[in-house]
Amino acid sequence: MSHLLRSHAPISEASWTLLDQEARERLAPALAARKLVDFSGPQGWAFSATPTGRTTALESPAEGVSARQRRVLPLVEARSDFAVARQELADADRGAPDPDLEALDRAAHQMAVAENVAVFHGWPGSITGISEATPHDRLPLGQAPDDYPRAVAGAAERLLCSGITGPYGLALGRGQYRRVVETAEHGGYPLLDHLGKILEGPIVWAPGVEGGVVLSLRGGDFLFESGQDLSIGYDSHDRDVVRLYLEQSFSFRVVTPEAAVLLAPS
C-alpha cells in the first residue's frame, strides 16, 4: 500500500481525478526550476539519498586496512497541508463545474514557491542554492525595465568569459517578470522578445525568486533529483472536511557554480 493512503480517504475516483488535475494546473506554471535545470527520477518514496561520488577518510579499524566513507546528499521532504470541504467534493461528483478548491490552489502555489526558493536561493542546512553557489558578483537589474537588457547581456557575457556556453535561461521573480511582459522598448519592440534573443532560451515566471537568475541550459550543471514526485496524500477527515497534503522528496546540487549569474533586484 502506498504511504499516501489515498484509498482510505472518503473521496471518489472522479474527485481524485479532479483534485489531481487541479493540482497539476496550479503547479505547472509556477514550477520554474523544472523548466531550467536537469531533472532525474522519480526514484520513489523509499529513495533517501543522492550519491555524490565523494568519500571521507576514516580511521583504520585494523592494521593494514584503510577506510573511507561514502558521502551522499540526503533528500528533503516538502509537504503542504490543505483541507477540502466534503460538500464541495460531493457537489463535484454530481457534476458541479465550479467546486471550491482554493485551499488546494494555495497549497500548490506554496509548494512551487518552496521548490523555486530551494533551487535558486537554497534551503538552510539542506540544499545549496544556485545564487549561494555562484562565484560571480551579482549584477543589478536596474530600476527601470529598459535597463534589463544591459544586465542580461552582461550576465551572458560573464558566462561566456567563464567558458559556459548557451543557450541561457532566465528565471525572474514576480515583479520583474510582470515588468518585462508589460514593457515595449523604444520603437515598440517587446522587451520579452529582446531578452529572449540575448539569451537564446526561455524566460520563466519564478515566484519566490528575488530578482533574476541567468543560467546555462547546456545540461549537466544543475541537477534536481526527485524521490517521490509531487503527489497528493490523505491525512484524516471528519464530517465536514477531508484533510489532504501535497508532498514530494528531492535533492538538488550545483555541479558547475560558474554556470549562473544572479541579477539583484533594485
Partner 1 sequence: MRDAQGEEFKHFSMDLEFLLRRTPAWREIAQGILFRSGDIVEHGEEAEAEALEGDGSGTGGAAGQGSLGIGSLRGSTR
Chain positions contacting partner 1, by CB under 8 A: 1-2, 4, 6-9, 11, 13-14, 16-17, 20, 23-24, 27-29, 31, 34-36, 39, 41-42, 44, 202-205, 226, 228-233
Q: How far is the CB of 163 from partner 1 (least distance, A)?
A: 23
Instruction: Please state the closest distance from residue 71 (CB atom) to partner 1, in A.
Output: 25
Which one, 136 or 180, has the nearer CB to partner 1?
A: 180
Our CB check for partner 1 shows the closer of 34 and 121 to be 34
C-alpha cell at position 45:
518514496
Residue 214, Ramachandran bin (φ over 0: left; ψ between -120 and 50: alpha; else beta): beta
Report, in Å, the least distance between residue 8 CB and partner 1. 8
Residue 202 Cβ vs partner 1, minimum distance, rounded to whole Å: 4
CB of 126 to partner 1, least distance (A): 21
Q: Shortest gap between Cβ of 109 and partner 1 (angstroms)?
A: 14
Determine how many CB atoms are found less than 10 A away from the CB of residue 6: 17
For helices 148-161 and 191-199, angle between their N-to-C axes, nearest 10 degrees: 0
Strand extents, DSSP E, the chain? 38-40, 49-58, 67-74, 76-85, 139-140, 168-172, 203-205, 212-216, 222-226, 231-237, 241-254, 260-264
